[in-house]
């Protein structure tokens, strides 16, 4: 019985430490999303050259990555300290899309990235097919 109480106490302490660090990570991500908002505004309103459109698109995808990580942390706290698998898949798809936008020199690499996205979408469907149909 004493081992059970001790294990529960250790688990609660570790959960609280994890929560504090996740809140710290959320604050850091909020700072980065603020910086990215400023950067996007500068690219949109100040730069007028051709390369600024690529910077804008890349910045928007990075913005979505920050946004998805913040949403993942929010979902963690609202779902009773659980990370849903589908959020990680969404983040993976967005990260690969960013990679395609940034590094699209090799058609073979782009095809491999597209196949990776297909695998992630199929995984998302298999893992959460019923839930996605309801939403």
What are the tens digits of pLDDT across the range 71-92?
A: 899 989 998 888 888 888 999 9
pLDDT, tens digit, 9 for 90 and up, residues 47-71: 666 667 777 888 888 888 898 899 8
Residue 121 parent element (H or E): helix 107-134
User: What's the predicted TM-score (pTM) here?
Assistant: 0.76
Q: Which of 82, 98, 115 is the last residue of a domain?
A: 82
SS3 category, 83: coil
Q: How many CA atoms lie within 13 A of 56 on its CB side?
A: 13
Same domain for 93 and 72: no
Same domain for 90 and 50: no
Neighbours of 22 (CB within 10 A): 15
Same domain for 88 and 75: no
Burial 74-113 (b: 16+ CB within 10 A, else e): eebeeeeeeeeeebebbbbbbbbbbebeeeeeeeeeeeeb
Round to whole Å and give the CA distance between 41 and 54.
14
Task: Classify residue 3: in a domain, yes or no.
Answer: no
Round to whole Å and give the CA distance between 16 and 76.
13
Query: Comparing 4 with 132, which gets the higher pLDDT?
Result: 4
Same domain for 129 and 106: yes
Task: Classify residue 58: in a domain, yes or no.
Answer: yes
> Which tokens belong to 59?
């910045």
The residue range of the domain holding 111 is 84-134
Same domain for 109 and 65: no
Stretch 98-113: mean pLDDT: 88
Same domain for 129 and 103: yes
Task: Write down the pLDDT at residue 48.
Answer: 67
Same domain for 105 and 55: no
pLDDT at 2 over 80: no
């Amino acid at each position: 019985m004493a081992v059970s109480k001790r294990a529960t106490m250790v688990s609660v302490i570790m959960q609280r430490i994890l929560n504090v660090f996740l809140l710290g990570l959320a604050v850091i991500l909020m700072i980065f999303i603020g910086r990215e908002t400023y950067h996007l505004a500068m690219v949109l309103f100040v730069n007028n050259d051709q390369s600024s459109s690529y910077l804008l698109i890349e910045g928007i995808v990075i913005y979505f990555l920050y946004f998805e990580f913040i949403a993942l942390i929010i979902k963690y706290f609202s779902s009773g300290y659980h990370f849903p698998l589908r959020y990680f898949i969404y983040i993976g798809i967005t990260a690969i899309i960013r990679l395609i936008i940034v590094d699209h020199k090799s058609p073979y690499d782009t095809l491999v990235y597209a196949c990776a996205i297909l695998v992630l979408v199929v995984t998302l469907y298999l893992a959460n097919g019923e839930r996605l149909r309801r939403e």
